[in-house]
Amino acid sequence: MFEIAFDHAWLAGKDFPRERGRALLRLLEALSRTASLREAAQAAGLSYRSAWGVLGEAARLFGAPLVEMQRGRGARLTRLGIRLLRADEQLRKVVEPLRARFELKPAPSGGAALRLTASHDPLLAQFCERFAVPAGLVADVTFRGSEDCLALFSRGATELAGFHLEGFDIRRFVQDLETGAKQVGELPPITLATLRKKMTALSGEIAQGAVWANAARSYMPKSLEALPEAARTNPDFFVGNMVPTCIDADRAAAAAVNRRTLVGYVKLPNYQNYWIEAGFAEEIQAIRTAIAAGQDDRIPSLMSDRWLSQVTLYGSPTEVRDGVEAWYAAGVKTLIMVPSSTRGNQMVALQELIDLFR
């Protein structure tokens, strides 16, 4: 017996996990109704001490307090605290109407496993492969575009459909954050995750940086042309890319590791469309044909050396260092190397990466 709930969590970061973000928003919402921090903490399901702790963490991360304490008047939200609540309310207006439609209650004993169609999430693919499918919770997983996912759901061809929320206005969200920050101090630079040209252009309009994952080095100059001139010529505008990396003098072995790393990504429509745009239509069409035929085991062999050498770094230390320099020459300012190893786990891979630059 299991239950799948449709939920959202957006306030999170490297040193501020999602559960802390949820707790903070619950506390801020309670403080919008009461000036007593003790009462607000109780309403948010927190101890008084925990409430102080989460407010302190948030103040350090944002660089400004979200709540101010006044003698005789109790706790009051600052302008930044109010802005965060409004941003959460905006997101909830998009999410809440979908909750009743997509939440699934426990299936009766002996019920059939679910069919799942989703548009984007490598972690979801790994979760299904390693847990949900073996456990009998999910019978079939396919990856399609958002519109196809919803069409299959409406025809009853899938019980779960994953898709992008088009109603959430990221431009307005960033504007609200910046407006709120003016009352208490500047925000840290905002960097948007990007891939294709439309999102790249948006990052140059409303943010102070753009970061790719698994971009094609040969296509990076073209991608950067989508940035507005002011961002493109600004030395402080962040341009980064996350690149799978495997260091081994046995180049074929290192390439095989990177191919395994990218299997989940080449199944995703948004990455497929990007790589086609970047000049790798032949490889992606062959991969799509294999996926449609249920021949996922063929996918690594369809990732050509031509494609792999532009999307990842692999080979001897000298070859990898030369590849890093080539990325900088292509216009990337910060290269985020994501290491894997032919010899062991992530800790082994990380040590190999450290040794590379000693």
- Report domain extents, the chain: 18-98, 105-158, 189-356
The CATH architecture of the domain made up of 18-98 is Orthogonal Bundle (1.10)
Closest CA to 245 of 323, 163, 178, 179: 323
> Which portions of the chain are predicted below pLDDT 50?
1-4, 101-110
Bridge-based pairing of strands 114-118 and 138-143 is parallel
240 in Cβ contact with 212 (< 8 Å): yes
CB distance 303 to 259 below 8 Å: yes
Cβ count near 46 (within 10 Å): 20
Q: What is the pLDDT of residue 271?
A: 93
What Å distances lie between residue 238 and 192, 200, 223, 335, CA to CA?
Answer: 10, 12, 14, 11
Structure token pair of residue 209: 């940086």
- The whole-number pLDDT of residue 3 equals 46
Report the pLDDT value the prediction gives residue 104, as an integer from 0 to 100. 46
Give the number of other CB atoms < 10 A from CB of residue 259.
21
- Which phi and psi angles does 234 have, rounded to 5°? -85, 115
pLDDT on residue 220: 97
- The span from the CA of 181 to the CA of 186, in Å, is 6
The domain 189-356 having CATH identifier 3.40.50.2300: the answer here is no
pLDDT, tens only, 296-326:
999 999 999 999 999 999 999 999 999 999 9
DSSP H helices, the chain, are: 18-31, 37-43, 48-62, 79-102, 122-127, 146-154, 170-184, 197-206, 220-224, 229-232, 251-266, 269-277, 281-292, 299-302, 305-311, 317-329, 346-356
